[in-house]
Amino acid sequence: MQEQGGRKLSQDVRVLELCADLITVGGSTCATVLESAASYLAWDLLDQAAMQADVVLDISWEKLHTGPWKDVNVAWRNAYSLAAILTVRSQKLNPDSAARAMRVLDLAVMMGGPLFRPEIDALINQVQALAAEPSRSVNNKHVTKESGLRFEGRFAEDWTKNPSGEAQEGTPVGPSSAEYTKASSEQEATFPEDGLFDTKRVNRVREQGGPSGVALPDVTDAEDERERTDHDRQRKRAKVSSRKIPLPPNSNPCSESIPRRHVPSLEAFLCEHMLAERPVIVTGVVTQWPAFRRWGDLAYLKRVAGLRTVPVEVGETYVAEKWRQELMTMGRFIEMHMEGGERPEERGYLAQHPLFEQIPELRKDIVTPDYCSLGGGEMQSVNAWFGPPGTVTPLHYDPHHNLLAQVVGRKYIRLYAPSASECVYPHTQGMLTNTSRVNLDQVDKGEFPLFATAHFTECVLEAGEVLYIPPRWWHYVTSLSKSFSVSFWWSEGQD
């Protein structure tokens, strides 16, 4: 039976296709090693199979970290996924190994290709279930039915480190789907002893992909009353915690310069805001979500996502000299950055990450607003923004329609129309041409004399509200309290 299972694996169409793809991109060695690993598994030679898996991990890891992410062939990402599955399947899972196994799988979600994603998701569910029942011990040799492929062998304990210990050029944290390209080029990356991911220089490109829209759920009167009570409670807590956060000069968020509308009709939203390119704050949408009731409880987030590895931005802003990214579990992020105090230069921010594609349990807590179906375009991305008071996103624009939903806490947001582009002094070259060179918190009037003449609108986005930001509108965002936001990007249809 073991021989038949191994032979089935070695003859799996996807594995054979992957080996062929690797050969076409110069990965004949990797393809041979994958085939060899399958043969060893057929005869239950787990140590030998594990050694082959380590080789595949090393090769694919190096390829993923060489050059810009957009230039990495998907075959190397699929090879990375397959090697990650092999690594986890080779271990007898228990509470001591569950956290490490989850890290391996999360890296495969973020950096791997789509070919073996169902197997990765099934393994994640197994590890999550094991973590919820610490007394259980699971031998993967007997629980492979859900994941399709059968993988066994030694668990590689520290394969995430660069084998040479030296910095590499490339994109350290890759996206979780082919469309997700929060890309960077020519970066230095290392994995220190604590396993955290450290980037010396990362440039952001806001071109992403994400899930499609769904309709709003029905809510009973009792649930609606509870939502309003929770909303009022969140606003009171947020206001108390936001009094010491400084705002940019000349700010007057009480000016109500951005209108608020309670669940406008699709026609009104399309005609009066999308087509008119006019920002608006929509109320009565987020308060219907389960997330509105749940995400303010950090214990809930720890329970659902505490073991999951996520990329965290550390530093004042993504244009700051000492800004970097680190990989850590959601539980550690909450303990370090949401529950503990920190200096601005060490402030952590889970920013612009497709968390809901990575963790379906959290995706069930939100609903894509129906407004995202307007315009005939497609959903581009749904991203999470989770952080402590004082996180700052510098003045920049995005190319898509944007609904920024404030689930927990409150944020100050300042908007400049596209007509003000000359006055906000965008970077003229490189990958930051969608970002202003002006530091709104300390404007250099000598270097940027026109900036003071630019007209802006502003608001404080409260928990339970959604801000519509039209394409190419410049916006600056700072959190006034602990905050969890969700952004929905969708494109225009092509004529």
Range picked from 115-129, 130-144, 246-260, 468-482 for highest mean pLDDT:
468-482
Domain boundaries, the chain: 2-142, 221-490
Cα angle for residues 372, 376, 377 (degrees, 5° grid): 70
Residue located via tokens 């394409």:
471
Which residues face 385 on adjacent strands?
A: 485
Q: What backbone phi and psi angles, to 5 degrees, belong to 322?
A: -95, 10
Which CATH number is 221-490 given?
Answer: 2.60.120.650
Which strand (E) or helix (H) includes residue 204? none
Q: Tell me whether residue 113 is exposed, middle or buried, using C-beta atoms within 10 angstroms of its C-beta: 0 to 12, 13 to 18, 19 or more.
A: buried
Residue 18: per-residue pLDDT:
92
Residue 471 has pLDDT above 60, yes or no: yes
Residue 22 has pLDDT above 50, yes or no: yes
Provide, for the chain, the percentages of residues in helix, strand and coil under a 3-state DSSP scheme, each rounded to the nearest 5: 40, 20, 40
Tokens at 82, concatenated = 């397959």
Mean pLDDT of 100-125: 92
Mean pLDDT of 475-495: 90
Residue 205 has pLDDT above 60, yes or no: no
Nearest-angstrom CA–CA distance, 11 and 64: 26
pLDDT in tens, 32-51: 998 887 777 677 777 777 78
Residue 169: per-residue pLDDT:
33
Residue 486: per-residue pLDDT:
98
Residue 241: per-residue pLDDT:
43
Q: What backbone phi and psi angles, to 5 degrees, belong to 353?
A: -120, 135
Residue 132: per-residue pLDDT:
76
Q: Which of 50-54, 64-68, 190-194 has the lowest mean pLDDT?
A: 190-194
Mean pLDDT of the chain: 78
Quick check: helix, strand or coil at residue 124? Answer: helix
Nearest-angstrom CA–CA distance, 120 and 115: 10
| Residue of 241, 264, 209 whose CA lies nearest to 382 | 209
Residue 141 has pLDDT above 80, yes or no: no
Integer angstrom CA distances of residue 356 from 260, 305, 487: 27, 11, 11
Residue 211 has pLDDT above 60, yes or no: no
Range picked from 234-248, 405-419, 441-455 for highest mean pLDDT:
405-419
pTM of the prediction? 0.75
Conformational region of residue 117, where left means phi above 0, alpha means psi within -120 to 50, and beta covers everything else: alpha
Residue 116 has pLDDT above 60, yes or no: yes
pLDDT in tens, 71-109: 999 999 999 999 888 888 777 777 778 888 899 999 999
Residue 484: per-residue pLDDT:
98
Residue 417: per-residue pLDDT:
96
Q: Tell me whether residue 267 is exposed, middle or buried, using C-beta atoms within 10 angstroms of its C-beta: 0 to 12, 13 to 18, 19 or more.
A: exposed
Does residue 47 or residue 56 have the better pLDDT? Answer: 56
Tokens at 152, concatenated = 């066994």
Cα angle for residues 141, 144, 150 (degrees, 5° grid): 75
Residue 431: per-residue pLDDT:
83
For residue 236, name the pLDDT band (cuts at 50, 70, 90).
low
Conformational region of residue 89, where left means phi above 0, alpha means psi within -120 to 50, and beta covers everything else: alpha
Integer angstrom CA distances of residue 378 from 41, 232, 466: 43, 34, 19
Mean pLDDT of 421-425: 95
Residue 163 has pLDDT above 80, yes or no: no
Does residue 15 or residue 278 have the better pLDDT? Answer: 278
Nearest-angstrom CA–CA distance, 304 and 394: 31
Mean pLDDT of 373-388: 93
| Residue of 126, 111, 9, 6 whose CA lies nearest to 60 | 111
Q: Quote the percentage of the chain above a pLDDT of 90.
A: 52
- What is the residue type of 322? K
Which residues, other chains included, contact 416 with Cβ-Cβ below 8 Å and sequence gap of 6+? 395, 423, 424, 454, 455, 456, 473, 474, 475
